[in-house]
């Protein structure tokens, strides 16, 4: 049964979510909360809201990028329409700026990579590298996609979309370490000095280029 990622700071016991009807979790959808600098970002996602969005995770816009579990991963979230959410987990990241870039804390990028690595390891695709989602293409690996891939929207915004290849590369680093015998507690933070260390090495650039089919 899918479980919350180990970087989940707290779990809100909600009744949101629906049956996956036997589907396995093979992907992660990234959304943004489009809240500018909202102070109650996670609480908005936990309770009833005007967007009817109840993701697996909400990530706050504070410096630590606090992760709150909202819909248990064994249930389909309500974020990207059921047809897309049935076999995926979803997250909503709170923003520190509004239009046009919709930025998030740098720590959020690391939190997303940890979440992706965890669910990839739990998935039936754990033997394959994590991939950037390619709609309409059969993929072997656990994928990381974003809202705009399945609906006419800017979500999750230019900042997050631009960082998805680096998030995937970082998630693969974490996944490889855990599958190699490392503990989650031993994973060194991927953010230091305000910089996301998911910045791609040459080898990672080649891997991501391959995942994109380039």
Q: What is the CA radius of gyration of the chain?
A: 16
Instruction: Inform me whether the pLDDT recorded for 213 exceeds 70.
Output: no
Question: Residue 34 has what pLDDT?
Answer: 79
Long-range CB pairs of 203-210, under 8 A, 24+ apart, other chains included = 204/169, 204/172, 207/129, 207/169, 207/172, 208/132, 208/165, 208/168, 208/169
How far lies 53's CA from each of 16, 65, 86, 130, 209, in Å? 10, 19, 15, 25, 32
Q: Which of 38-47, 75-84, 205-214 has the lowest mean pLDDT?
A: 205-214
Give the largest CA-CA distance in the chain: 45
pLDDT in tens, 49-86: 877 889 999 999 888 899 999 999 999 999 888 889 99
Interval 104-115 mean pLDDT: 94
Closest CA to 7 of 169, 212, 170, 193: 170
**What domains are there in the chain, each with its CATH number?**
10-212 (3.40.80.10)
Give the number of other CB atoms < 10 A from CB of residue 6.
15
Comparison of pLDDT for 37 and 122, the residue scoring more? 122
Question: What CA–CA distance (Å, rounded) separates 4 from 181?
Answer: 20
């Amino acid at each position: 049964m899918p479980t919350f990622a180990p970087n989940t700071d707290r779990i809100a016991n909600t009744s949101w979510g629906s049956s996956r009807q036997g589907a396995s979790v093979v992907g992660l959808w990234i959304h943004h909360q489009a809240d500018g600098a909202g102070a109650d970002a996670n609480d908005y996602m936990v309770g009833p809201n005007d967007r009817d969005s109840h993701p697996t995770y909400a990530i706050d816009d504070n410096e630590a990028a606090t992760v709150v579990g909202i819909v248990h991963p064994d249930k389909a979230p309500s974020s990207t329409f059921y047809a897309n959410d049935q076999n995926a987990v979803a997250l909503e990241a709170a923003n520190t700026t509004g239009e046009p870039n919709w930025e998030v804390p740098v720590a959020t990028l690391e939190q997303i990579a940890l979440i992706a690595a965890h669910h990839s390891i739990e998935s039936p695709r754990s033997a394959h590298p994590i991939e950037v989602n390619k709609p309409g293409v059969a993929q072997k690996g656990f994928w990381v996609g974003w809202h705009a891939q399945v609906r006419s929207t800017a979500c999750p915004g230019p900042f997050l979309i631009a960082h998805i290849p680096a998030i995937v590369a970082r998630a693969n680093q974490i996944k490889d370490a855990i599958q190699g015998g490392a503990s989650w507690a031993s994973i060194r933070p991927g953010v230091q000095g305000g910089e996301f260390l998911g910045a791609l090495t040459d080898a990672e650039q080649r891997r991501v280029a391959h995942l994109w089919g380039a």
